[in-house]
Every structure is written in C-alpha cells, then in structure tokens.
Amino acid sequence: MARQNFIGLVVSQGKMHKTVKVRVQSKTYDKKINKDVLRRKDYLVHDEGNLCKEGDIVRIEAIPKISARKYFAIAEIKVDKGQQFALYETLAKKKVAEEEKSLVNEFINRRNELETTINKVEDLKILDRIVNKAKNSSETDRENLVKEINDIKQKYNIKSWPNVEPVLDLDISKASKDLSIIENRYTHIHKILETLMSPEYNDKKVEILTQVSKKDIEDLKPNVQKNLLRKFILDPKNECPVSL
C-alpha cells in the first residue's frame, strides 16, 4: 500500500532537533456553506539531516511513529526557498558586521588622531615654557633645558622656536564633534533601535526607511529594517531620530 504523502511549507525550523513544522493546505467541501474552503494543518516532521529551512516547499511521507506527534518525515525538498532566505540573512549579517567594524575602526583612527594632536599641543606648550625658562636659568640648568628643547624640536621637525610656519592644524572641532556623536550613538544603539521599532515611532521609522531604501517598506523584514536604521543612526551627518 502506498504511503501517505503531502506537499507543504516549512513554517518553523531549528526549535527542535531533527524536527520541522510543515503546514499542509488542502481544499475540502463544506456542506454547511455549500462551497470549497481551504483547510490548514501543521505536522511535526522528522528531518534527519537538519536540511530544511523556513520557506522550503517539501514533500512529506508517512512513517512509523517516532513520537506521539511525529509520524511524517521529509521525503523531498521541492523548492529550497528557505535555503536562499538563510543565505541572504547570513550575507546581510556579514555585511552589517563589516560595516560596523569599518565604523569602529574609523572611530578609533580618528580618536587616535585627536589624541596625537592633543599630545602635540601639550608638547608645544611645554616647549614654550622651557624656552622662556632657559633665558633666566643658570649655565648648568640651561644645558639640560636646551637638551629638552632640542628633543621636542626634533620630534616634530621644528627648525626654530618661536616658529612663523604652521606647526599644527587645530581645525579639529568637527572631527571631535563627530567622534562624540558616533561614540554616544554606538553606546545606545540597541535602545535607539528598540524605540524606533515601537508602534509610537512608526511614522519616523517609515520616513527614514523611505529615505534609505528603494524597496517597499512592507517587503522589508524586521531584521533588514533594523540594519538600515542602524546604518542611518551611526552616520553623524544624520540627526538622531530619538533623544538620548
């Protein structure tokens, strides 16, 4: 006798070992309303190789009972849409991780540049003090001070002091501000995303997603929406949509 077969959609995967939930849809005639109606039934199905993903269309086949609720097994994967979704999700996570790593590296580099500039300012202030002190010091002290002066001048390739040529670019206000913004938003990124994904901020979320994505917002999954929002928030050129 032929075994019972159904074609269904995998609606849940990964919650139980070697088990997926498959939804089977069938059409039956309802005598009460005198018309055909669609019936849906979910089956727990044995997946020996843990191959199925959510979204796959599969053929399931009856087998001897494994447990009280599991008496079907995966016989064939008809359409592996779930595998494509899983691959897309993996690539999306990888891309987001790379973007976040790039932003963190950029932040670290700019912070190091800022620290270097601050150290240089402090050294130049010390140089200025030493030069003034050397004028009124004894011969022995003057030799030590001159050595310190020459060390600082050599460190920054300064030929003479006071120097009429520009030694330091102090236009760091914008960089410092951007670093502060990025650091603050990165620290509170989870809180900002949770707030934007809440119903009361739906209009703001739609406005941002419309601006950054060419796709219809209804077609974007929640994890994709979060990734787009994260990218928008961590850009210091954009105004933070949530007050911190």
**Residue 95, pLDDT score:** 83
In the structure encoding, which two tokens stand for residue 17, read together? Answer: 């070992």
**Residue 135, pLDDT score:** 66
**Residue 7, pLDDT score:** 92
Which amino acid belongs to residue 152? I
In the structure encoding, which two tokens stand for residue 189, read together? Answer: 């990124």
Name the residue with higher pLDDT: 108 or 117: 108
pLDDT at position 171 over 60:
no
Contact 55, 42 (CB under 8 A): no
**Residue 124, pLDDT score:** 73
In the structure encoding, which two tokens stand for residue 28, read together? Answer: 């039956």
What's the pTM? 0.39
Rounded CA separation 19/9 (Å): 14
pLDDT at position 15 over 70:
yes
Residues 6+ apart with CB under 8 A from 84: 55
Rounded CA separation 219/21 (Å): 24
Give the mean pLDDT of 53-68: 91
pLDDT tens digits, one per residue of 22-43: 999 988 888 888 899 999 999 9
Rounded CA separation 200/190 (Å): 17
Extract the runs of DSSP E, i.e. beta strands, from the chain: 5-16, 19-30, 35-46, 57-62, 70-79
pLDDT at position 215 over 60:
yes
Q: Report CA dihedral (193, 197, 203, 207) to the nearest 10 degrees.
A: 50
- What does residue 36 show for φ and ψ, rounded to 5 degrees? -75, 140
Mean of all residue pLDDT scores within the chain: 81
> Among 20-29, 94-103, 155-164, 167-176, whose mean pLDDT is lowest?
167-176
**Residue 71, pLDDT score:** 93
**Residue 106, pLDDT score:** 84
Share of the chain above pLDDT 70, in %: 84
3-state secondary structure of 211: helix
Q: How does strand 19-30 pair with strand 70-79?
A: unpaired
Select the highest-mean-pLDDT range: 1-5, 72-76, 240-244: 72-76
Within a 13 Å sphere around the CA of 241, how many CA atoms are in the beta-carbon half?
Answer: 26
Beta bridge partner(s), residue 36: 29
> Among 93-97, 173-177, 187-191, 206-210, whose mean pLDDT is lowest?
173-177
